[in-house]
């Protein structure tokens, strides 16, 4: 992998991690068409995801600091027997709901190897279908009646809904942010709350999955150079911060439908290309 490839993949990751178009799907396509697929690609994808996590910490630092402070108080109250599920402030409620959403991923862990195999195989047909699924949920969520739930109004049912949608987003081509934001909108969240909940929810999930992938890749030895990893990490973080600002603007101007059309067209194109590749017997690379 060249420095150019590292930078290009980092830009793709930084932009598409937060835009509701699927970062894993776009990375899978880039790696497929440039011949950078395989175990090394999985390792590098994990590094880029860590870079975008830094972007989340930077963009939502005030909210994250407030949640961390409340988490410390929450733990103290639990040990002192003062915790009350019915009487929680907005920050505490959001923490508890995020934990519930994370636990909803447990059933999907059983299919981890299957999800990984789709990202690393030679076909992009599955990615095309997943892009079409993303288009469908983005379009339907855009048609939803605007909700009024803020972080203090989120219920366990809402958090389970968002958590299950996030589990499906493990498939390459299914947008994690698009899925969780859509699930929030389906549940009656305000657009700002849906976006904030989606991005903060991604912190523990993406961090854990990346650490596990990095551990496995390091143990097996990775063909990706340290220099490429550092460059990719930094570029993904910087581009990620810019993408988050763009998403905040999109939320205020109700532009999510644009991405439904984009992923619809992309899904159709990817499926057509995958069929052509099947007939010619090899991948189309550039």
Answer whether residue 286 is part of any domain.
Answer: no
pTM of the model: 0.85
Domain, as residue range, for 231: 3-280
Answer whether residue 232 is part of any domain.
Answer: yes
Answer whether residue 181 is part of any domain.
Answer: yes
Choose among 86, 91, 58: nearest CA to 73: 91
Q: Looking at the chain, how many residues does it have? A: 286
Q: Are 142 and 20 in contact (CB under 8 A)?
A: no
Answer whether residue 180 is part of any domain.
Answer: yes
Answer whether residue 76 is part of any domain.
Answer: yes
**Alpha-carbon span 48 to 130, nearest angstrom:** 21
Q: What is the mean pLDDT of each run of 10 residues along the chain (286 residues)?
A: 81 84 76 63 76 90 93 92 88 94 86 69 82 92 86 94 92 88 93 91 82 67 73 92 84 78 92 88 68
Answer whether residue 220 is part of any domain.
Answer: yes
> So what's the pLDDT on residue 223?
61
Number of independent structural domains in the chain: 1
Answer whether residue 156 is part of any domain.
Answer: yes
């Amino acid at each position: 992998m060249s420095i150019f490839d590292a930078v290009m993949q980092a830009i793709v990751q930084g932009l598409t991690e937060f835009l509701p178009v699927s970062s894993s799907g776009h990375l899978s396509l880039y790696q497929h068409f440039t011949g950078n697929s395989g175990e090394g690609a999985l390792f590098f994808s994990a590094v880029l995801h860590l870079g975008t996590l830094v972007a989340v910490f930077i963009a939502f630092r005030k909210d994250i600091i407030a949640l961390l402070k409340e988490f410390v108080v929450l733990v103290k109250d639990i040990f002192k027997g003062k915790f009350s599920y019915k009487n929680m402030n907005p920050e505490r409620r959001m923490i508890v709901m995020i934990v519930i959403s994370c636990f909803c991923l447990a059933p999907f862990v059983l299919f981890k190897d299957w999800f990984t195999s789709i990202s690393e195989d030679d076909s992009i047909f599955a990615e095309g279908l997943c892009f079409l699924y993303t288009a469908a949920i983005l379009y339907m969520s855009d048609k939803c009646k605007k909700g009024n739930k803020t972080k203090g109004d989120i219920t366990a049912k809402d958090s389970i809904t968002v958590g299950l949608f996030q589990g499906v987003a493990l498939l390459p081509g299914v947008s994690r942010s698009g899925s969780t934001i859509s699930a929030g909108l389906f549940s009656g969240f305000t657009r700002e709350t849906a976006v904030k909940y989606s991005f903060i929810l991604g912190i523990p999930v993406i961090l854990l999955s990346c650490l596990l992938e990095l551990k496995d890749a390091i143990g097996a030895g990775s063909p990706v150079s340290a220099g490429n990893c550092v460059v990719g990490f930094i570029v993904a973080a910087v581009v990620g911060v810019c993408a988050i600002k763009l998403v905040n603007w999109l939320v205020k101007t109700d532009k999510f439908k644009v991405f439904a059309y984009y992923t619809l067209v992309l899904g159709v194109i990817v499926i057509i290309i995958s069929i052509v590749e099947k007939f010619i017997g090899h991948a189309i690379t550039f």
